[in-house]
Each structure stands twice: as C-alpha cells, then as structure tokens.
Amino acid sequence: MKTNKKNLKTKMIVLICLIVVVPVVWILMQRLEGEKPSIVLEPPSPFIGKTHTLSVNVSDVKSGIRSLWVGLIKDGKEVLLFEKDLPSEGLIGGGKTRQASFKIKIEPKKMGITDGKAILRMVARDYSWRKWLHGNTAYLEKDVMIDTKPPEVAVLSRIHNVSQGGTGLVIYKLSEPCLESGVYVGGNFFPGYSGYYKNKNFFVAFFALDYTQGAGTELLVKATDLSGNSSRAGFPYYIKKRVFKKVSLEISDRFLNWKMPEFDVEVPPDSENPLVDKFLKVNREFRKDNNLKVKDIGRKTDNKLYWGNAFLRLPNSARKANFADHRSYRYKGHVIDEQVHMGLDLASIAHSPVPASNRGKVVFVGYLGIYGKTVMIDHGFGLFSTYSHLSAFDVKQGQMVSKGDNIGRTGSTGMAGGDHLHFGILVHNTFVNPVEWWDSGWIKNNISSKLETVRSLY
C-alpha cells in the first residue's frame, strides 16, 4: 500500500510539472527569443536633397515591434528625424505590430542641416524579454550626402526653329552629374545624351513636336540631380505652323477579302458585316497597339551618334502618301473611320531593294500588325528609322548597317493596298516628318552646324 501511495505521489508531482513547468519553459523560450528586428530602407539612395522622403520598413515576426528611432549625424551633431513607440499586447503577448512602414520627410535646410557627408542611423527594438525585458535591438547605418542645391543648366545652342511635326536639337551643359535631363515639349520628355563631346557635362537632346503641337507649345530643358533637386532652363525657339492634307480612301470588298485574313481578329457572331468590323478593329486597335510597340522600342537607344549627312530615300520612287495625312476611310460612300498616317508611302517597282537610310543598328525585324513585315534601325541618341510592308528581310536584329545597305524588299504585307514602302522617322517616342531628314540643307542648318559650333566655341 505504501509503495502504491508513493508511486501515486510521484506521478502527481510529474503531472504537475508537466502542467506547470513545460508551459512556463515554452513561454520563456518564445519570449526570450534572440532574433533582431529587420530594418529595410527603400529606396536605398545615398543622396538627400532639398526635400526627401525616407521609406522605412520594420518587421519582427516573433516578438513584435517595440520602437523605431531615426536620426542624422552631421558634423558631430545628432538630429532627431523620427521616433515612435508601438503598443504591446501585454507581458505575454508581445507587440501588437509585427510589420510596419513609415514615411519620414527630411527637409535639411528647415532642420538646420548643412550640405555635405552625414550618417543616417536607424534603431529598432522588439518586445523580446531579452536584456532584462528591453528586447533585441537592430541598427542600420548608411553614409549619405546632403545636397540641397539644384543643378545649373546652361543652353549652349542658340537658334531653334522647329516645324509642327518636325525635329529639333538642343545642346546644353550641366554643372553636376544628374539622374535625368532632357527637353520637355508640352509635357512630353525627350532625354539628353552625353558622349558626343569630350566634356561629359555636355548633352545633346533631339526633340520633336508631334503633328498636333503648334505655336503655343512650351519647350524647356529640365535636369534632376542625384539628390532629386531639379532646375529648368528656357531657350529661344520658333515653331512653324503646318497644315496637313485631308485624304479620302475608299475601302472595297475586294480589299477586305484580300487583307482581313492576314489578321487574327474576332468579331461578334451577330455582326452584319464581319469584314468591315474586322477592318475597323485592325485599323483602330491594332494601329494603336502597333504604334505603342514602335514607341516602346524607341525608348531604348545607343548612346552614340551613328548617322551622318542626309538620309537616303527609296531609289526611283514616287511619293504616294505624306506624313500626317488625315485619312477618312469610306465604305460604300459612308465614312467609317478616321486615322492619321504617321510616315511616307513610297512606291517603285514591285519587290524593290530597300536601302538603309543611314548608318545604325537594327533593333527590330519582324511582323508588326498593320505595318506588316518591318525593320527598325537605331541611329543613336533617340533617332530611329522604320521600314514597313516589306516582302522580305535582308538583315537580322542586332546587325550594324551602313547607309545604302539592303535591309529588305518592298511589299504589301500588313494593311498595304499595294506594293510600296512605308518609311518613318521616330524621335524617342514621337513620329516626325521624314522629309526633313532627306534634306542636306535642313540637316546642316538645324543639326550639324549646331554640333560643330558648340565644339568650336567650347
């Protein structure tokens, strides 16, 4: 009996230990965790400008966030930028917040912080019981540069005469390295490029007015430095107004039966005239998507001026359509659509060899919707030429071509009504009038003389 009572007592003690001690040990293990909070700075820029916003992400999955402190150490002095204590769920529960993001605005001048090198320091603590309930502490320090002065922009080119739907060139100098600089044309941005001159602070920017931008369009140079400080500079310019032709095109059933099978288009099953509905979808939606594709390619260019002198045109060709022709498409006497023609149509004999209009790098070879088989050439600094409706290709993507090299043959692919070449010129993201680029006098007055004048003066 005594032995049984003794065994029972022992079991009771063990059971009590299991009920009391094990949970206590588990809680201690959880609450005494030693993992430090995580601090992530986005974006991790080393520059702080006149006005700067820090995005700080803090997380602590196990114990929760207790506090965040952010300060700036400059010339031996510490400036408090941000401080926040976060709530807890009690001694056992830890912190209520496991993850948090903070936006911290820094205005150095208002805070009495001068330009120069500084240290950005961030300290985060959690609700762990470590260090006598003070928790784990994480530190993040980053060397930063305080720069509140905007860059200086000096326009070096003097005369800027631009036609509506035409191209212009601005040459300017920056006082410091910049994150971005270029010309704004009514809100559309054209980046500038260094590398043409030995002085890396000299920039060349080709810009364009689209066919809708006339005399009231604002032009200016803008530069943003590495700290986010921006400055603007105006320059003298004259915009020549242009009036574009209005053209009426008759769409026949023969054309629709010939062309629509080339496009994979779905129309509603109850369509009264499926071929017309397909045409409208191609002429509107495909055209829009195809132009966006061309413009997207035009945003990536080599930082080198490949071309020289006037651009070539298709030999022995007649011009069948002009740049920015305003087209009305008629079917059985009724206008069914209106679009703008963003290039020149040139016709010679069928399947004529097509020369590269100038030296450059082939950046696109392929089928492009309404444009059919198309080649695009990058001539550097954001200038591109396009060749569409081809029947065959003689070049590959990535290939360098010289002026006059055969790149393909004319054809009637895409929405072409007959064998011809659709020739286009693109400046960054804007189609312009190619005729200017055929004119050696225009190039001398508006491009080459400017480049050489700046070279000789500076």
Q: What average pLDDT does this structure show over 234-259?
A: 95
Q: Return the number of other C-beta atoms located less than 10 Å from residue 93's C-beta.
A: 12
Q: What is the mean pLDDT of residues 273-294?
A: 95
The yes-or-no verdict on residue 17 having pLDDT over 70 is no
Query: pTM of the prediction?
Result: 0.84
Residue with tokens 């702080």: 48
Helix (H) or strand (E) holding 5: helix 2-31
Token pair, residue 307, equals 């071309």
- The CATH class for the domain spanning 38-146 reads mainly beta
Same topology for domains 153-242+450-457 and 246-427, yes or no?
no
94 pLDDT band (50/70/90 cuts)?
confident
Residue 451: CB atoms within 10 A of its CB come to: 16
How far apart are alpha carbons 79 and 24 in whole angstroms?
43
Structural fold of domain 153-242+450-457:
Immunoglobulin-like (2.60.40)
CATH number attached to the domain at 246-427 = 2.70.70.10
Q: How many CB atoms lie within 10 A of CB 431?
A: 25
User: Is pLDDT larger for residue 138 or for residue 18?
Assistant: 138
Number of C-beta neighbours around residue 112 at 10 A: 9
When pLDDT is averaged across residues 253-269 and rounded to a whole number, the result is: 92
Domains in the chain: boundaries = 38-146, 153-242+450-457, 246-427
Q: Assess whether pLDDT exceeds 70 at residue 265.
A: yes
pLDDT, average across residues 287-309: 95
